[in-house]
Amino acid sequence: MTKRKRLLSLGAILLSFSLVMAGCGTKDEGSKTGTAGEDGKITKLVVGTDATYAPMEYMDEKGNIIGIDVDIVNAIAEAAGIEVEYKNYGWEPLFPAVKDGLVDFAVSSITITPDRQKEFDFTNPYFEANQLILVPEDSDVTSFQDLKDKKVAVQINTTGHIVTGELLGKTSSQIVAAETMPIAILEMINGNADAAVGDNAVIIDYQKNNPNVKVKLIEDSSFEKEYYGLMLKKGNTEVMDLLNKGIKIIKENGKLKEITGFDVE
């Protein structure tokens, strides 16, 4: 670096510093609120997801993100009069992406829980789910309690992981925590776990698409109903109101039931 470059005027330094700080202030204040049109109204939102969770969200052969969740968000966006753009982050990186404002909201079969509500805001529920158990066809497991002395595969930090941790202990070595649900199921198929626990839509879809794999489903009434919501950064009321408006419309006009096959309160 030359002496001339090092000896910038104090005024130039202060001006540059002011511009940087102004830019930082803009980024840190409040929450990301999408792309706005000339009238200031939101016209487009960026949506984060984990596209490994068929049939809810996954990639087709062309690399497009598709699934039930995507159909629902597209319907919400149409009802709210906005566009959406999807970005595939993966499950674990999805949460900091929302918190850091890299996306406007996330859809990824995210169950609304008290712990998550401490860190994020959620829309009104748009999907009802419950946990199912998948075991080999010759397994003697008939209930969730039968898994107490078994190895159980789950997707890390999902509801299946949480309820299995409550049964076996949060740090139990009997829990096989995989990055995705398909990998968790594969762990069970390969004999590295005695069962897999996950959301009903995903487990049923796996069995439907793999009829030659010798497995069976176990339902257990002890599993509580859970509800999915769209997840936002805390305080992002503008986007929250827009999404809830869309959810309300597709519930009332029957579009949500058309996509999912059932009503959601």
Banded pLDDT at 92 (limits 50, 70, 90): very high
Q: Are residues 239 and 213 in the same domain?
A: no
Q: What are 145's two structure tokens?
A: 């309690």
Q: Are residues 239 and 156 in the same domain?
A: no
162-206 pLDDT tens trace = 999 999 999 999 999 999 999 999 999 999 999 999 999 999 999
96 belongs to a structural domain? yes
- pLDDT for 1: 44
20 belongs to a structural domain? no
Reduced 3-state DSSP string for 114-178 = HHHHHHEEECCCCEEECEEEEEECCCCCCCHHHHHHCCEEEECCCHHHHHHHHHHCCCCCCEEEE
Using alpha carbons only, what angle is made at residue 99 by residues 97 and 104, rounded to the nearest 5 degrees? 70
End-to-end CA distance of the chain: 65
- pLDDT for 41: 83
Q: Are residues 149 and 122 in the same domain?
A: no
Which domain CATH number covers 109? 3.40.190.10
7 belongs to a structural domain? no
Q: Are residues 50 and 121 in the same domain?
A: yes
Evaluate if residue 107 carries a pLDDT over 90.
yes
The mean pLDDT of 149-158, rounded to a whole number, is: 96
- Total number of domains constituting the chain: 2
Domain range for 39: 35-128+226-260
18-73 pLDDT tens trace = 433 434 433 333 444 566 655 668 999 999 999 999 999 999 999 999 999 999 99
